[in-house]
Amino acid sequence: MNTDLIIIGAGPGGYETAVRAAKAGLQVVVIEKEHLGGTCLNAGCIPTKCLCHEAEQPLSNSPEGESDRLREAIARKNEVVEKLKTGIAQLMKTPGITLVEGEARFVDVHTVAVGKMVNGEWSNGKWEAPNIIIATGSVTKFLPIPGAHAEGVVTSTEMLNLTTLPQRLAIIGGGVIGLEFASIFQSMGSQVTVIEFCKEVLPQFDRDLAKRLRTSLKKRGIEFHTNAAAKEIRRKEQGAGSKEQEKYNSEGEKQEIGVSSCPLPLAPYLEIDFEEKGKLQSVEADLVLMAVGRAANLDSLNLADVGIETTPRGIKVDENMQTNVPGIYAIGDVNGLIQLAHAASAQGRVALAHIISNSNSSLFTLHSSLSIIPSAVFTVPEAAMVGQTEEQLEEAGIEYQSHKAMYRANGKALAMEAEDGLVKILTDTEGHILGCHILGAHASDLIHEVTLAMRLGATIHDIADTVHAHPSLSEILLAAAEA
């Protein structure tokens, strides 16, 4: 069957691009093998933000209350996800869009088969189009160490469906995913340990901001091991050697002085070996989250047979998101450029602009914006950034100035009891904004003022000359601009 455009994957990049393409007059086939909304909606952005919200609520004093709270948080998360999936399903009914369920693979450069081969035919048919967009997202990475797939080692997907709060949670990886779950489950009542390979958490963020965030999370009770390499994960079927289990005897009976013993079976636990500063150490946990990043989802696509080039990061694309094969594009996590849902959406608009040769349309003028994409971490406090870091500017030999302002000097922050944080704006010597880094309440919202300023070529002087409402957290940006 023929159509104008095939989009493989119904995540944010895929479904938003499909709607825009249909409104532009194209006949679009969207192929999705699992869930509408992709990783972002089902196992990423939206679910974690639901849990972040619930984690900010007051903590119960009883273990039963903690488990109930987690179950209630998961239930609410599921409601939000289902509501949004229903909305996307309605979008897929937009005139001009055909939604096809099943796994896609290339037959040739213009043909995609869907489903599996049954009696010599593809179960969900074959589709042909002059243009194809690959938007298959990413999958969880695992460290190549013994025990990486042991029982009790989970990914973010499993974490989002827990109904029992782990007493001790170890997280391998101190990036965005690892820190968000560390913040959530520490707030829920878990004892959390983070093991990060790099010298500092959030290695892609400004080092000053990352260090301050780690310090803030450490004050809340999260234990960090940075510059530490995980070596092995072992599952222990008996807890007699566990530091947390020393109050039990070899038969699993609770021993307390002056209190009659209460039989309690010993639960299995996990032991993680890691090397920190040349010394082998270990930590025990009831659950281990593997949070060492995500890899492009290329399985089953049959890219090699149609000559599509890939790199270790993903599918290789040009500035129009086009692969080396004319008419085939790759957007979002699958191209490895930047793994953010809003980046996938923006890349989809750029690809569609190239497809319909309408780059002068106001809808499709995003080429210059692809280098100005904000990112955020929804810990407590939040962190957000856009543009370059001090480390990147120093490495490139670019002269810059740093303009800072602290949350603790802002009236609204004090009123909110959110004085922990700072704003740092980096500029060249003439005031052109090179980057902005925010740690503190509503950082994910505040970052967009600077993102827009960078997009429009405004300077830090323009921010300083703009009246900001009082009292508001946005005045911290004003204070930084005036510094």
Task: Give the tokens for residue 222.
Answer: 């999260």
Average pLDDT over every residue of 425-453: 97
How many whole angstroms separate alpha carbon 200 and alpha carbon 55? 25
DSSP secondary structure, 27-88, as one string: -EEEEESS-TTHHHHHHSHHHHHHHHHHHTSPPPSSHHHHHHHHHHHHHHHHHHHHHHHHHH
CB 58 within 8 A of CB 189: no
CATH fold of 5-138+295-371:
FAD/NAD(P)-binding domain (3.50.50)
How many whole angstroms separate alpha carbon 267 and alpha carbon 248? 11
First to last CA, the chain: 62
CA neighbours closer than 13 Å in the CB half-sphere of residue 273: 12
At residue 264 the predicted structure's pLDDT band, cuts being 50, 70 and 90, is very low
- On the question of pLDDT at 108 being above 80, the answer is yes
Active site residue ranges? 470
Instruction: Say which amino acid occupies 292.
Output: V
Task: Give the tokens for residue 355.
Answer: 């497809």
381-482 homologous superfamily: FAD/NAD-linked reductase, C-terminal dimerisation domain (3.30.390.30)
Segments making up each domain of the chain, as ranges: 5-138+295-371, 153-290, 381-482
The predicted structure's pLDDT at residue 371: 83
Instruction: Say which amino acid occupies 134.
Output: I
How many whole angstroms separate alpha carbon 367 and alpha carbon 349? 9
- On the question of pLDDT at 263 being above 50, the answer is no
Q: How far is it between the farthest Cα atoms of the chain?
A: 82
Mind listing the pLDDT tens digit for each residue in 154-186? 999 999 999 899 999 999 999 999 999 999 999
In 3D space, the residue among 100, 136, 102 whose CA is nearest the CA of residue 14 turns out to be: 136
At residue 419 the predicted structure's pLDDT band, cuts being 50, 70 and 90, is very high
* Domain at 153-290: CATH code: 3.50.50.60
At residue 122 the predicted structure's pLDDT band, cuts being 50, 70 and 90, is confident
Mind listing the pLDDT tens digit for each residue in 354-397? 999 854 444 445 555 788 999 999 999 999 999 999 999 999 99
pTM equals 0.88
- On the question of pLDDT at 251 being above 50, the answer is no
Average pLDDT over every residue of 97-112: 94
Helix (H) or strand (E) holding 237: none
**Domain 381-482 in the same topology as domain 153-290:** no
How many whole angstroms separate alpha carbon 136 and alpha carbon 295? 11
Name the average pLDDT for the chain. 89
How many whole angstroms separate alpha carbon 480 and alpha carbon 401? 12
The predicted structure's pLDDT at residue 232: 97
Contacts of 408 (CB under 8 A, 6+ apart): 414, 419, 420
φ, ψ dihedrals at 77, nearest 5°: -55, -45
